[in-house]
Structure 1
Amino acid sequence: MAAIGKGFRYDPSTPRFQQELWDVYRAMRDRHPVYHDPEAGFYALTRFEDVQAAAGDHATFSSLVEEADSLLPQMIYMDPPRQTALRRLVSRAFTPRRVAAMEEQIRAGARALTDDIAARGRCEFQHEYAAVIPSLVVAAMIGLDDEYIVPMRTWTEAFIAVNATGGYGDAAERIYAMFAELLQERRRRPRDDMMTALTTAEIDGRRLGDDELLGFCLLLVLGGNDTTASLLGSGIVLLTAHPEQRDLLLREPARWPTAVEEINRVESPTQALPRTTTRDVELHGARIPAGSRVMLVWGAANHDDREFPDPERFDITRTAARHLAFGHGTHFCMGAGLARLEARVAFEEWHARFPAYELDGEPRRYTSIWARAFEHIPLKVA
């Protein structure tokens, strides 16, 4: 990586970073546990204990960050108590009972996709399977008709391929415009879906404003689409690289839940998210001033050998219940249960239909300042 003084530079905006990130993260954890980039003007925490503690301390590490200035209000960029009230409202859609009830729908969708892929003998896995399943699920949950699913999927992918803060304006505007029209339609003709429920929901006796509604819808489609699609793509590439792990899953499919957790740990779809310090913080002999931008690097924390023995080894028998791929604290992912279900079912159905598959070319990753995701995964199936 490019040198800064006597050290090195953590710069996830370059394609090279995606090839070197484990080495970079290890150097940061071991030698620069409070990393500071004076040119870019941010700090970064990478050790598991530090990231977990910061994520659990919203009073010190606030979610009010600069990204909030370029997007309409959404929970990911709020602190309690407002964030708590909004989270409570949306969490009704993610109860264990509601999530479990979606399994057959997810399974049916996965089987239809594998039928089509089987007829061709090959596919581009990321866009013909991994990205399709979560988009169908989130569309059904929110209330999007079929005609909106493909455009929505295309626009949300633009948020993955971001190599600078704020590089997603056009995609956000398109999503806002789509939902503004649909929310107006729900006010005229209500349905039994989440969009209708949001238009009538109240917090402290007040209905949500238009900006809050659009912010909600954007967060739901981003959280529901991109991270799960990235998890599926990363998982299939890991399993092609570790055939002994795939063989174990084929022999013992009951291991899929722990395999999903290990994929999440090893290739966390969300590698980093920002916070803003509300006071001076002293950590590892370094001082982070109040008002500083601090990156919580989930991907590095999930490879910390202080928490995970031999952390870069992919092992589906590992029990890694404390990984941070879904975040921690007040912003722990509301859809974690649904993402786990989608991934388990999607992998089960794929491997039941295609126990033998192999890469049909070199996979290609996105360059992204926050995500770990594949743009292209060519596969041959048997």
Structure 2
Amino acid sequence: MKPPIYHISLDAFWRDPYPDLKTMRAEAPVAFVPELGATLISRRDDIFALEKKIDFFSSNQPEGLMTQLIGQNMMRKDGDAHMSERRAIFPTVSPKTVKNLWMQDFENFTSTILERVLPLGEIDMVTLAKELSGEALRALTGLTNMTWQEMDRTSQGIIDGCANYAGDRAIEANCNDCTASIDAHIDARLAVLKDAPDSSLLSVQYQAGLSMDQIRANIKLAISGGQNEPRDVIAGMIWALLTHPDQLALLNSGQANWMDAFNEYTRWQSPIGMSPRQMAQDFEVHGITLKKDERVFFMFGSGNRDERNFARPDIFDLTQDSSKSIAFGAGPHFCAGAWASRALIADVVLPSVFRSLRNMRLNGNTEFGGWAFRGPLSVPVVWDT
């Protein structure tokens, strides 16, 4: 049986995908959405199980936008090919390296940035989050010759390019310009790191003997996801806590900790809302046959609000059990940067921001956007100086 067809408004889905996803979970958990050209899988337990079936749901998508634009990175590989590259980058992103090396960097630049903005009394938290996320990526990737502004620009350009299903030539051209910039920065830094290796992503891949095509593709992957996702979570969590003072009170009283807040926020708003797959062979789900070569989207954002798994799925509540969250994925492609992201945001940035910016409060409206990647567009705040 073919999947049922479910139509969406692309604009409404970008502004708020959750009403449509709730309907899909209830009525059509496997549904073809013509506007996206893909079959969406929306229930959490289906995603959790199927993501591991790489013989059917393949990440290898040679004709996909991401592969065409940035190269075949490790996220677009399966099995041994994927795991060999994952092992190569592990020395950069392991919990031990994050704790013993990157945490100090995170603390240093966060302190410096907050000292600079403190006298201002106001800022858009999305802008501040861009800088914090960009500085973390400069250290992790090894591209210390790239400004945080260029890190943010190239990341957004790649993301826009990889979501350019309409084939907009201007978006594609901008993405190509961004990837060329990253290549130029890689070439300049690699000339230094060959003689003075360190624990950065660029250096450890080179030391592991990966080809330049592999190195370039994985650096671009890290920039595309490693900039926008922490940015969106930092700004979004600040907005969420300021609009939910009862939840902020739990943190201030010690009844909840910052990691609780991080885990619940990433469940609730799912900064990574979707992960694409291509069917390697036919497979049946809920009586529906997914045919070889069809495109399938695992809707993480939907799974994280599945009523079957969460007591109050549409509510931001630090006291509820969020252990079944699939915010970072559920299978072999579980986000390699998860430890670094948690350390940066939950251990350093969020407690530092709320400690340093006294009586912080919102100073305008906040709108969210996105369904594949989701975050606030602006979070204006003020504080007492």
Identify unmatched segments of 5+ residues in structure 2: none
- Aligned residue in 2 for 1:27: 23
Q: Equivalents in 2 of 1:86, 1:333: separation in Å?
A: 13
Report deviation, 1:7: 6.6
Residues 1:59 and 2:55 are matched in the alignment: yes
SS at match of 1:81: helix
In the alignment, which of 311, 328, 341 is matched to residue 330 of structure 2? 328
Q: Equivalents in 2 of 1:328, 1:77: separation in Å?
A: 16
- Which amino acid in structure 1 is aligned with residue 352 of structure 2? E
SS at match of 1:294: strand
Report deviation, 1:148: 3.2
Is the 8 Å Cα contact of residues 8 and 35 (structure 2) preserved in structure 1? no
- Which amino acid in structure 2 is aligned with residue 347 of structure 1? L
- Aligned residue in 2 for 1:120: 120
Q: Equivalents in 2 of 1:160, 1:117: separation in Å?
A: 28
Question: Relative to 1, partners in 2 of residues 1:190 and 1:73: Cα closer, same or farther, differing over 3 Å?
Answer: farther
Greater Cα offset, 86-95 or 355-364: 355-364
SS at match of 1:330: coil
Identity fraction in percent = 23
Query: Mapping of 1:214-363 within 5 angstroms?
Result: 214-252=216-254, 255-344=257-346, 345-363=348-366
Q: Equivalents in 2 of 1:284, 1:110: separation in Å?
A: 48
Is the 8 Å Cα contact of residues 145 and 189 (structure 2) preserved in structure 1? no
Q: Equivalents in 2 of 1:364, 1:32: separation in Å?
A: 28
- Which amino acid in structure 1 is aligned with residue 110 of structure 2? A
Report deviation, 1:369: 5.2
Post-superposition Cα deviations, 1:32-81, rounded to whole Å, max 9, x if no partner, equal: 11111346531010100111112111111000121323321201111111
Q: Equivalents in 1 of 2:134, 2:307: separation in Å?
A: 35
- Aligned residue in 1 for 2:95: 96
Question: Relative to 1, partners in 2 of residues 1:17 and 1:266: Cα closer, same or farther, differing over 3 Å?
Answer: same
- Aligned residue in 2 for 1:205: none
Question: Relative to 1, partners in 2 of residues 1:82 and 1:172: Cα closer, same or farther, differing over 3 Å?
Answer: same
- Which amino acid in structure 1 is aligned with residue 116 of structure 2? D
Q: Equivalents in 1 of 2:211, 2:103: separation in Å?
A: 33
Task: Compute the TM-score of the two structures, normalised by the length of structure 2.
Answer: 0.88
Post-superposition Cα deviations, 1:316-351, rounded to whole Å, max 9, x if no partner, equal: 122212211101111001111111111112111111
Residues 1:177 and 2:175 are matched in the alignment: no
Report deviation, 1:145: 2.5
- Which amino acid in structure 1 is aligned with residue 301 of structure 2? G
Question: Relative to 1, partners in 2 of residues 1:359 and 1:55: Cα closer, same or farther, differing over 3 Å?
Answer: same
SS at match of 1:158: helix
Q: Equivalents in 2 of 1:94, 1:379: separation in Å?
A: 32
Post-superposition Cα deviations, 1:169-201, rounded to whole Å, max 9, x if no partner, equal: 3322322332233334534x4342432332232
Is the 8 Å Cα contact of residues 160 and 370 (structure 1) preserved in structure 2? no
Task: Compute the TM-score of the two structures, normalised by the length of structure 1.
Answer: 0.89
Question: Relative to 1, partners in 2 of residues 1:41 and 1:144: Cα closer, same or farther, differing over 3 Å?
Answer: closer
SS at match of 1:199: helix
Is the 8 Å Cα contact of residues 281 and 287 (structure 1) preserved in structure 2? yes
- Aligned residue in 2 for 1:109: 109
- Aligned residue in 2 for 1:144: 143
Q: Equivalents in 1 of 2:178, 2:157: separation in Å?
A: 6
- Which amino acid in structure 2 is aligned with residue 266 of structure 1? W
Query: Mapping of 1:187-198 within 5 angstroms?
Result: 187=194, 189-194=195-200, 195-198=202-205
Q: Equivalents in 1 of 2:318, 2:20: separation in Å?
A: 24
Report deviation, 1:292: 0.6
Q: Equivalents in 2 of 1:297, 1:105: separation in Å?
A: 34
Q: Equivalents in 2 of 1:120, 1:43: separation in Å?
A: 48
Q: Equivalents in 2 of 1:192, 1:150: separation in Å?
A: 24
SS at match of 2:364: coil
Question: Relative to 1, partners in 2 of residues 1:184 and 1:364: Cα closer, same or farther, differing over 3 Å?
Answer: farther
Q: Equivalents in 2 of 1:232, 1:39: separation in Å?
A: 31
Q: Equivalents in 1 of 2:15, 2:149: separation in Å?
A: 30
SS at match of 2:322: coil
Is the 8 Å Cα contact of residues 258 and 318 (structure 1) preserved in structure 2? no
Greater Cα offset, 165-174 or 240-249: 165-174
Give me the CA root mean square deviation: 2.2
Is the 8 Å Cα contact of residues 142 and 193 (structure 1) preserved in structure 2? no
Post-superposition Cα deviations, 1:131-185, rounded to whole Å, max 9, x if no partner, equal: 2222222212232225533212221123445652374333223223322333345
Report deviation, 1:221: 2.2
Is the 8 Å Cα contact of residues 164 and 369 (structure 1) preserved in structure 2? no
Identify unmatched segments of 5+ residues in structure 1: 1-5, 203-207
Post-superposition Cα deviations, 1:83-114, rounded to whole Å, max 9, x if no partner, equal: 01110110121222211123233223222222
Is the 8 Å Cα contact of residues 276 and 294 (structure 1) preserved in structure 2? yes
Question: Relative to 1, partners in 2 of residues 1:7 and 1:60: Cα closer, same or farther, differing over 3 Å?
Answer: closer
Question: Relative to 1, partners in 2 of residues 1:256 and 1:136: Cα closer, same or farther, differing over 3 Å?
Answer: same
Question: Relative to 1, partners in 2 of residues 1:150 and 1:193: Cα closer, same or farther, differing over 3 Å?
Answer: farther
Number of aligned residue pairs:
367
Question: Relative to 1, partners in 2 of residues 1:136 and 1:286: Cα closer, same or farther, differing over 3 Å?
Answer: same
- Which amino acid in structure 2 is aligned with residue 104 of structure 1? Q
Q: Equivalents in 1 of 2:368, 2:190: separation in Å?
A: 35
